[in-house]
Amino acid sequence: MIIKNEIPILEFDTDEKSVIMPEHEKLDLNLPRKAVFAFLGEHIDIYAKNNECEKVAEFISATKAYPIYVTNYKGENICLCQAPVGSAPAAQLLDWLIAYGAKEIISAGSCGALEDFPENTFIIPKKALRDEGTSYHYMKPSRYVDVNKDALMAIEKTLKDHGLKYVEVISWSTDGFFRETKEKVLYRKEEGCSVVEMECSALAACAQMRGVIWGQILFTADSLADIERYDERNWGGDSFEYALKLCLDTLINI
């Protein structure tokens, strides 16, 4: 049933069956229950090469093919997949992974600091403000979406096991990288958002609708804390490789 609204993005169809379902290709593919779905670029491929991971499939999009690997980590088979930047392509690929067997998924990636966090600070988003479009196709309109509690507990345990200091925050998920205006940054900070990224709310909504566990580890990259002087810093470059290990260890803890 469609819940109609004058504004299209605020409409929601409660029917979970779509004309095109994620498994419409009917591939002979059974992915491991546990999966790393991370915004870590080439580090997924590097890890796969260095650890002789098996490439079991490809997700072919209009722009590129995303290799799907399987690794055995501490006795568990785990799927590894690079996540595309942006809520729409990221949720599409996450939905596909879920359809083919992934049920416990951990993501990792960089975020912009809205508060005075040092670069490479690890962040746990406990909920996300839905300032992107994709989540509205997976759950009814609301201002926030919560991140799965089981995932949060596993991430917290992992970061503690690694002796890492971390911060739990509300994240601002936005589609508009170049539309983070001064007034909007201040507005988001006033309502409690500490970091900004582009996918958390969409992936949380997708996972919630599909009934799976999903959580995210973020690390600070650029800084918008001083709206008069934007600081790119080094885009969190020192955390990418380590974040992948944290994802793997988190999946063991779920």
Closest to 177 (Cα-Cα) out of 128, 132, 228, 121: 132
pLDDT at 118: 97
Three-state DSSP class for residue 15: coil
CA angle 58, 237, 214 (to 5 degrees): 50
What would the mean pLDDT of 73-94 be, rounded to a whole number? 98
- Render pLDDT for 201-224 as a digit per residue (tens, 0 to 9): 999 999 999 999 999 999 999 999
Q: How many domains does the chain have?
A: 1
- Render pLDDT for 152-175 as a digit per residue (tens, 0 to 9): 999 999 999 999 999 999 999 999
Q: Residue 136 corresponds to which amino acid? A: Y
Residue 93 lies in a domain: yes
What sign does the CA torsion over 157, 159, 165, 168 have?
negative
Residue 25 lies in a domain: no
pLDDT at 38: 98
CA angle 172, 216, 119 (to 5 degrees): 70
Residue 8 lies in a domain: no
Report the C-alpha gap between 81 and 93 in whole angstroms.
Answer: 9
pLDDT at 110: 98
Residue 98 lies in a domain: yes
pLDDT at 119: 97
Residue 12 lies in a domain: no
What would the mean pLDDT of 119-135 be, rounded to a whole number? 98
CA angle 235, 236, 237 (to 5 degrees): 90
pLDDT bracket for residue 104 (50, 70, 90): very high
The helix (H) or strand (E) run that includes residue 26 is none
What would the mean pLDDT of 135-141 be, rounded to a whole number? 98
Report the C-alpha gap between 56 and 99 in whole angstroms.
Answer: 15
Structure tokens at 184: 């909007």
Structure tokens at 250: 């988190």
pLDDT at 214: 99
Report the C-alpha gap between 195 and 217 in whole angstroms.
Answer: 12
Closest to 110 (Cα-Cα) out of 224, 10, 4, 204: 224
Residue 48 lies in domain: 30-253
**pTM more than 0.95:** yes
pLDDT bracket for residue 24 (50, 70, 90): very high
The CATH number of the domain where 113 resides is what? Answer: 3.40.50.1580
What would the mean pLDDT of 61-86 be, rounded to a whole number? 97
Q: Residue 131 corresponds to which amino acid? A: D
* Mean residue pLDDT across the chain: 97
Residue 21 lies in a domain: no
